[in-house]
Structure 1
Amino acid sequence: MRIKLSFRFKLMVSYIILIMTPVIIIGTFSYRSSVDSAKTQSRSNIQGTLLQMRDNIMYKIMDVQRVSDQLYMDQQLTSYLGINEGGWNSYETLTKHLKPTFQNALDLSALHINIQAYVKNKTIPEYYFIQNNKENPLDLGKRYNIYQLDRIDGEPWYDPWKVSTVYGANQAMKWMQVAEDAQYGNISLLRNLNDYAKTDQIGFLRVSAKLSEIFDSIDFTKIGDQSTVYVYDEQNHPLFFSGNQDEALLQPTAGDKKSGYLNIEERLEGLNWRIVAYIPTQLLEANADSIRQITVLVCLISFLVLMAISVILSRMFSVRIYKIIASLNAFRGGEFRKRISYSGNDEFAQIAEAFNDMGKHIDELIREVYISNLKKKEAELTLLQEQINPHFLYNTLSSISRLARFGEIERLHRMVMGLAKFYRLSLNEGRTIISVDHEIQQIQTYIDIQKIKFADGLDVTTEIDPDVLSYSTVKMILQPFVENALQHAWNGDHIHIHLYAYKDKDHIVFMISDDGVGMSQETIERVLNREASGGYGIRNVDDRIKLQCGSAYGVDIQSVPGEGTTIRIEIPCFMDPDENAPAERTG
């Protein structure tokens, strides 16, 4: 359904759009610039916070690496680990040299770390603390343990350090979670202990530290509520997190982009680790709320002020337009004498003058066309009507001739009298519109004539609603269908015809049904087709009704082969001024 908008409304909207467009553009640009600036500032602050976290982590990483370097670069430790003497000498090497060296290395770190040294020299006795497997060894304080290298020879995580490089022993150093580290939340720095003089491995060093201690600077509250900070290793596995552990953040996505989050990262140099902060976009947009509210408020005030100005301006112009519209509506209602009066010499005054002249000419032309169309319509109805009468007269005269030939004087007399009565009713002073009562009398006279012809072979039942008799109808719309049934619908030596007339809301419905042979759908379509041959009488009635009453009215045919046919004729309820009373019934 199309919405009708007034000229005043369209004019007002045009003013508002014209004035508000630059306001909206400038407001939108200012708002987005402010929001982008706020987001950039927030991102810069978060990036600075991540840099501080990274520096703090690297400091602690370097703290552990210093302990490892202290032992790795200690030439005396290398020489003591290479002495292959058993007995008392080995014990003395352990107590006087190895233990103090490892203890000094522990004291270098401010973190709670454990040192586990695995020595290749089988003459050096093991030294280690016995602990409960349910406890994190780092919770027991700083400790060092010395084991034989054979203890880890079968561990898969140790395999990379077994392979020698082209320079001798493997010099790689790597942070990994091995053995029970993942269970207790620890991580270890792994590297070989090498004898560079002999280019051979003399042991293996594992320095363990708590993840929570290394990453104690990772705190999501420094970023913002609902944020989450993850630390990923070089395989992109999470080592540590702070905040809400959302499984969706752990799912791999293209470019590590997470829907609904802004991610900012910092890399830990030399480790291939990443610190990634996931900040909900709604958190970044929180600062934009006040800017949005101010922008909306300014736009709203501007809108109200400009709307008031637009209403005043549009009213000034629309009042004159409404006068023209009122005159046009009067024209549409048939009042062509309506005129417009404007003072002044502007364009509206010129429109008014041209409109008044146009109205005068249209009034004259419509009167001429209306009279011409009425005459044409009456001529067409008369022509169609005249096409029916000869057909009926020919059939009736043929019946009269047959009766005369067989000497049936009584029936011949009755038929001639019925024919006279029929034509007295049908002539009707030459009118094409008659009352329904007159039409019913006419069809009843025709049926009486046919009963004389067919005697007991024809049975007719009529049901007429008295309320329809005072209305008017097109003349001779029932007789062609009764005649058609008597000519084509016989199914044996008897036929029954039922005639109805009743009112349906503001319509009058005539129905003629028979129990004859019926028609196929193809036959019905051919009868109603104006291009096909045959069916002239039926199409004649349909054409006359549509010509008089409009295309919404006319004839409808329903038929079942072998069972009969029903004709439905629908016309509007109307009264012709010349037929304002039912006709006097005669005969």
Structure 2
Amino acid sequence: MGNKLSFRFKLMVSYIILIMTPVMIIGAFSYHSSVESAKRQSRQNIQGTLLQMKDNVMYRIKDVGRVSDQLYMDQQLQGNLSIEEDAWSSYETLTKHLKPTFQNAIDLSTLHINMQVYIKNRAIPEYYFTAEDEDPLALGKRYNLYRLDRLDSEAWYEPWKVPTIYGANQEVKWLQVAEDQQYGNISLLRNLNDYAKINQIGFIRITAKLSEIFDAIDYMKIGDYATLVVYDGQNRPLFSSGDKNTALLEQGADSGKSDYLRIDEPLDSGLNWRIVAYIPTQLLAATADSVRQITVLVCLASFLVLTAVSVMVSRIFTIRITKIIASLNAFRGGDFRKRISYKGNDEFAQIAEAFNDMGKNIDELIREVYLSNLKKKEAELTLLQEQINPHFLYNTLSSISRLARFGEIERLHQMVMGLAKFYRLSLNEGKTIISVDREIQQIQTYIDIQKIKFADGLDVTTEIDPDVLPYSTVKMILQPFVENALQHAWNGDHIHIHIHAYKDNDRIVFTISDDGVGMSKETIDHVLNRELSGGYGIRNVDDRIKLQCGSAYGVQIQSVFGEGTSIQIEIPCFYDQEGETSVVRAG
């Protein structure tokens, strides 16, 4: 009889029975817990808000840092600033090279900044918009070019004059220098060095408004009467928001007065800055009082009964809910064989029956789709592999024909034996997955064949990490690129090819580089475009790798026209045992 009752009826009966039992202890516990929870929550909320402010400030600081890095790492700029030329050539260098470089650099920043570059090269003319004693941000986003000797009399510049043991001083600092404090600015300061000669060629100063850097520092995000202060490494206030109490701002690293809650959040360790929040303790006390009053009222009105009811009711149907949750979690993890076993004819039993039927149907459907996709994948891999072999065979047979025509029997014999060995390795009983060791043997055999053809004109070096040899790979992924280099990359009567294989965390990386004619960006785009003709061998390898290993892997091309080409092939670390692929993850 009981199993035929509806769940709704059972729940109503449970409430009627359990509401009769008062639980005074739970009310008292809730009272104290709510007060303490409110205090903890307030502190956690403030800490979380400070973290968000910190992230925003660091983003803006790094935004300016990217501008200085752009100039600091620009070797072409270093060369332009180091060469002393005649007046006309120096002016041309300024207009055609330096000004576009500086403009591109400041355009990297989303902030309104002013960049001042001081250079040693006296041949290059100065170029500036504002005087040194004016606000550099008065005219907006600008750059200025000065001579370095303008800084000789500046005391703040002294630390950058001292060279380090590695050459020029590379220290980077954020400071308020010159007119910065007067106009509410701050500057990023660093030397501009010549890597080739390891000496100083100039100095960079990038100025931004403190109000823009610390735009996210807003006391209203914490609450009324709160104060936010940013201190530098010497505990001097750089910026504040909220109550401008002088004594409060100047206490710096002190623990703070007892009537304030003080929460610190350090910025990047290289800056040694801190965001400090001061919250009056009476505000927290008021919050605690409010929570206390509400808690008492709720407990008196309903919390005693409802909490007791919730606890007891949960004991009745926790087991059934747990079963449903466990089955749902199994479904979410991909296990559709999980089943729920209930007796009776109530709503839970009906849910269990429907759930079991759904799981069975989904499991069967997934198996059907999986088998269908697996067969399709195997067919596509086989087709791609069969397409690449005739291309190589045709080229090799053409070489054998030429050797026969000229009567070079010994070289012809060596090439035929090499071809036989190559196909013995590549056929691999029809398998599309082979060991990396066998792939390396296969490409070495191919190189031996080509050395017969090209003699001293071909120079090949290999650098193979022994750790990669036991892993598996899609076969014939190296040969098309070596063949492509031999057909298209010659720059004279000699070519050098370097093959490198190494393990990078959970990936295996192959590189094939040559010193041939290289490719332009347009040629690379043409080769990789599947809608255009040409580049068949490269796209074939890329398609086979992506089909077997996923879209995260494949072929990348880097080339400099006139200097050479580098091909990078990435595959996951995996083993193929009896046709079952097992991917190995690092760590």
TM-score when scaled to structure 1? 0.47
TM-score when scaled to structure 2? 0.47
